[in-house]
């Protein structure tokens, strides 16, 4: 038996979303983390294996996945089962594609399966969020939410209470080319650095966050329409604001410029920045050409993905 969860991309609004502005995220349905569930000898307990990382964790370890597994077993009111869970992930780590949230979500689903239960997306997102917060500072919760819901979402933290989460209308259909700089980057570090700069001098950052929020509203409308050039221009503007916020990187800016020169309607970094991935909105006919241009410009890996129209 296997469980799985998709990767994700932030289409618009990363970082500002930590400061209660809205953001839009989409699932990457065909780039997934998978967990294979196998029974283990009686009394052997729970083992989580990540062969790609040459890592093996037991339930008691001081590790994020062990903590998430303990919390999930408590939630399910399940005693430690004798199972071996083996992780395989097509998502590069620390790249902005939601690898941590995808593995966490697949893990919660695997333990729910062992308990003979199916958990709804909101409960899964909450469990993964609680464990991410324990290990990764002040995440907004958008990553675990889009991964658990597996649909394009509007997400906004509230001053109090649960975040606002709404599924989004998708027009298009849209084609995205995603490129990994190959530079690993810690979300925790980038979010923490921005927080320190914001604390020292909030006003300019608040203005940038408001500008991002206004863009996100426009992106929601454009996403539901079919004007690629209009949506692309908004993504370009979001990239410029992220550069101003100090979260981009030379490699990201190079790839963004290469995608635009190759004919993309728009391109931006996606996720925490300082490394990780960028995305480009393209006409389907030029997707392969843009991907090639991105590899020539130094991308370690590229993916072509589609956002289908909502029925
Ligand atoms: C990371 O995918 C998105 C950030 O906005 C961080 C967060 O929302 O927790 C950079």
**Domains of the chain: residue spans and CATH:** 2-167 (3.30.230.10), 174-307 (3.30.70.890)
Q: Taking residues 263-291, report their average pLDDT.
A: 98
Atom number, ligand 1, closest to the C-alpha of residue 16 = 5
Give yes or no for residue 14 CB within 6 A of ligand 1: yes
Does the CB atom of residue 15 touch ligand 1 within 6 A?
yes
User: What is the pLDDT, as a whole number, of residue 62?
Assistant: 84
Best probe residue, ligand 1, of 138, 156, 191, 198 (max atoms within 8 Å of C-beta): 191
pLDDT at 303: 98
The residue among 170 and 54 whose pLDDT is bigger is 170
Q: How confident is the model at residue 53 (pLDDT cuts 50, 70, 90)?
A: confident
Share of the chain above pLDDT 70, in %: 100
Residues 6+ apart with CB under 8 A from 280: 176, 177, 178, 179, 256, 259, 260, 264, 266, 267, 290, 294
Least confident window among 51-60, 105-114, 168-177, 210-219: 51-60
pTM over 0.85: yes
Does 180 contact ligand 1 (Cβ within 6 A)? no
**Which atom from ligand 1 is nearest to the alpha carbon of 272?**
10
Confirm or reject: Cβ of 13 under 6 Å from ligand 1: no
Which residue from 6, 7, 18, 198 has its CB within 8 A of the most atoms of ligand 1, so it is best to mutate? 18
Strands 46-50 and 2-12: unpaired
Contact 256/246 with Cβ under 8 angstroms? no
**pLDDT of res. 63:** 87
- pLDDT for 41: 96
């Amino acid at each position: 038996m296997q469980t799985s969860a998709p990767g994700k991309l932030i289409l618009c609004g990363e970082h500002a979303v930590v400061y209660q502005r809205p953001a839009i995220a989409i699932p990457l349905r065909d780039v997934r983390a998978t967990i294979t569930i196998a029974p283990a000898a009686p009394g052997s307990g729970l083992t989580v294996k990540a062969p790609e990382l040459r890592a093996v964790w037991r339930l008691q370890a001081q590790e994020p996945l062990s903590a998430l597994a303990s919390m999930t077993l408590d939630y399910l009111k399940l005693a430690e089962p004798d199972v071996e869970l083996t992780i395989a992930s097509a998502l590069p780590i620390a790249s902005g594609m939601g690898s941590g949230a995808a593995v966490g979500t697949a893990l919660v689903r695997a333990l729910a399966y062992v308990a003979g239960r199916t958990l709804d997306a909101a409960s899964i997102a909450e469990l993964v969020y609680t464990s991410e917060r324990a290990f990764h500072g002040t995440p907004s919760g958008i990553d675990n939410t889009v991964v658990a819901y597996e649909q394009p979402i509007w997400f906004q933290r509230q001053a109090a209470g649960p975040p606002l989460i709404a599924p989004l209308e998708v027009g298009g259909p849209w084609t995205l080319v995603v490129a990994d700089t190959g530079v690993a980057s810690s979300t925790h570090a980038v979010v923490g650095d921005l927080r320190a700069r914001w604390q020292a001098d909030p006003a300019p950052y608040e203005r940038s966050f408001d500008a991002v929020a206004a863009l996100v509203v426009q992106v929601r409308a454009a996403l539901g329409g079919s004007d690629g050039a209009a949506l692309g221009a908004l993504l370009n503007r979001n990239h410029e604001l992220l550069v101003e916020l100090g979260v981009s990187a030379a490699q990201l800016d190079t790839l963004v410029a290469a995608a635009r020169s190759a004919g993309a309607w728009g391109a931006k970094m996606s996720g925490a920045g300082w490394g990780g991935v960028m995305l480009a909105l393209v006409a389907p006919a030029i997707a392969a050409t843009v991907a090639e241009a991105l590899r020539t410009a130094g991308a370690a890996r590229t993916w072509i993905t589609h956002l289908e129209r909502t029925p």
